[in-house]
Amino acid sequence: MHDIRAIRENPENFDAALAMRGVSPMSAEILAIDENRRAKITRAEQALAERNAASKDIGRAKAQGQDEEFKRLRALVADKKAEIAELEAEAKAQNDALQTLLMTLPNSPFEDTPLGKDEADNVEIHRWGMPLSLHFKPKEHYELPAVQGGMDFELAAKISGSRFVILSGAVARVHRALAQFMLDTHTSENGLTEVNTPVLVRDEAMTGTGQLPKFAEDSYQTTNGWWLVPTSEVPLTNIVSDTIQDDAALPRRFVAHSLCFRSEAGSAGRDTSGMLRQHQFEKVEMVSITKPEDSRDELDRMTKCAQGILERLNLPYRTVLLCTGDIGFGARRTHDIEVWLPGQDTYREISSCSVCGDFQARRMNARFRRNGAKKPEFVHTLNGSGLAVGRCLIAVLENGQQEDGSVELPEVLHGYMGGKTRINKDGVLA
């Protein structure tokens, strides 16, 4: 959420940041509501002072036998009480309108974020590995003979509907191994603290990280009001909501493996084949809580943590800096990591690492206090996939495919597979 004081002090900068995202100027509307709200508060405070003064005079008038003055003052106190209640209600309505408006406006991109309309204007900033040059036509993951028996979309559709999958046998084991490998790497080598988080959260948690109110249709809500998490970014980041962290405790770095749920509203017809875009999927999510001056460097660190997973799996990838037209609602800068998929002959997103500045922290009142300081400051928050497990499975299967329909597994997974190194064309670990 935006700082109203910053908008008051420099409305031109605020509108310029919105313009980078293609959003019309909003400062005039915001400041008009804010001015009205503050005027109501000032008038209510004046009325309260007048009521208090009249209340003191009532006793004196009664003691001196000034009946008419006593009646006038008593009526004045009653009128001021009603006036104060009305002004406070009007101020609250204006404050609610202001908060609602601020909650729906996207974060301000960094000034060095490339301008653009969509993903075509993103800027490649890093590339690792060379896509394999296969002497046969590569298949997509769901077409591979080694995979077909262990990846059942029809059975999942019978049970749950479209955009679900049932994994079994060797494919399910590789999927599990990938998640375990990611967690082991992040906790033992990258210094992240593993957390097991709920997948059901309250409105406040979703609001704090920016999913509500603007993106309610993208998530699932239970009949009793809980939300199914679209990513464990939500519970991980809310660990510090409504707290004041010690200066020495930062940065805090978390990682969690969880189920994720997304309705995929507005994505009809996109990636309907295979398991690229599912309503239920798994991710290993990273979240960092930092001091403001450290967040840009932390984004680079987080990005390298995600890239390192792909390098250990020997999966070619590229990293792109998102332009203003493609960056997420709560982000100031985002690095998307795209893995090479031979079956599609292209790179596809497998991780998105973002720095949000104090945007989420203001929404969830997450602060820290510097050593010796009296006033706390808002922390900065970051989040990133480390990685999307299902998409990583797709990449491992497609990049390891052999002409006979079998799949060679990355060496780093062999220990997680009981020494097995491949899935043969019949779908059996060998």
Write the DSSP string, 324-387. Answer: TTTS-TT-SEEEEEEEEETTTTEEEEEEEEEE-TTHHHHHHTEEEE-TT-SS-EE-EEEEEEEE
- For 119-423, the fitting CATH number among 1.10.3720.10, 3.90.230.10, 3.40.800.20, 3.30.930.10 is 3.30.930.10
Annotated catalytic sites, by residue?
Answer: 262, 277, 349, 352, 391
Examine the pLDDT at 269 and tell me if it is beyond 80.
no
CA distances from 318 to 42, 166, 383 (A): 56, 30, 19
Examine the pLDDT at 8 and tell me if it is beyond 90.
yes
- What pLDDT band is residue 84 in, cutting at 50, 70 and 90? very high
pLDDT of 264 reads: 77
Q: What is the DSSP letter of 401?
A: B
- Exposed, middle or buried, 16 (CB in 10 Å: 0-12/13-18/19+)? middle
pLDDT of 304 reads: 98
d(CA 253, CA 264): 29
214 three-class SS: coil
Which has the higher per-residue pLDDT, 266 or 6? 6
pLDDT of 265 reads: 64
d(CA 248, CA 372): 12
d(CA 262, CA 273): 17
pLDDT of 198 reads: 97
Residue 65 has a CB neighbour count (10 Å cut-off) of 8
Half-sphere exposure of 237 (CA within 13 A, CB side): 34
Work out whether the CA dihedral 33, 36, 40, 46 comes out positive or negative. Answer: positive
pLDDT of 69 reads: 86
How confident is the model over 38-49, as a mean pLDDT?
A: 96
How confident is the model over 159-163, as a mean pLDDT?
A: 96
Examine the pLDDT at 210 and tell me if it is beyond 70.
yes
Please count the residues of the chain. Answer: 430
Fold of 4-103: Helix Hairpins (1.10.287)
Encoded tokens for 165: 């999958």
How confident is the model over 68-85, as a mean pLDDT?
A: 91
Which among 355, 357, 348 is positioned nearest to 393, based on CA atoms? 348
Strand 193-194 and strand 317-321: the pairing is unpaired
Examine the pLDDT at 196 and tell me if it is beyond 70.
yes
Residue 342 has a CB neighbour count (10 Å cut-off) of 22
pLDDT in tens, 86-112: 999 999 999 999 999 999 999 999 999
pLDDT in tens, 324-376: 999 999 999 999 999 999 999 999 999 999 999 999 999 999 999 999 999 99
Q: 47, 84 in Cβ contact below 8 A?
A: yes
Helix/strand number for the chain, H first, E second: 12, 18
Q: 342, 316 in Cβ contact below 8 A?
A: no
- With a pLDDT cut of 70, the percent of the chain lying above it is 99
pLDDT of 59 reads: 81
pLDDT in tens, 368-417: 999 999 999 999 999 999 999 999 999 999 999 999 999 999 999 999 99
260 three-class SS: strand
pLDDT in tens, 47-70: 999 999 998 898 888 888 888 888
Q: 405, 425 in Cβ contact below 8 A?
A: yes
300 three-class SS: helix
- What pLDDT band is residue 268 in, cutting at 50, 70 and 90? low
pLDDT of 219 reads: 96
How confident is the model over 278-283, as a mean pLDDT?
A: 97
Q: 129, 408 in Cβ contact below 8 A?
A: no
How confident is the model over 240-268, as a mean pLDDT?
A: 91
Examine the pLDDT at 288 and tell me if it is beyond 80.
yes
d(CA 103, CA 218): 17
Each domain of the chain, given as residue ranges in start order, spans 4-103, 119-423
d(CA 156, CA 327): 33
| Domain 4-103 identical in fold to domain 119-423 | no
Q: 360, 236 in Cβ contact below 8 A?
A: no
Strand 243-246 and strand 366-369: the pairing is parallel
Q: 280, 164 in Cβ contact below 8 A?
A: yes
- With a pLDDT cut of 90, the percent of the chain lying above it is 91
pLDDT of 413 reads: 98
Encoded tokens for 375: 């006033």
Rounded to a whole number of angstroms, the CA Rg of the chain reads 28
Run of H or E including 235: helix 233-237
d(CA 258, CA 50): 58
Mean pLDDT of the chain: 96
Half-sphere exposure of 375 (CA within 13 A, CB side): 2
Rounded to an integer, what is the distance from CA 93 to the centroid of its chain? 29
pLDDT of 56 reads: 86
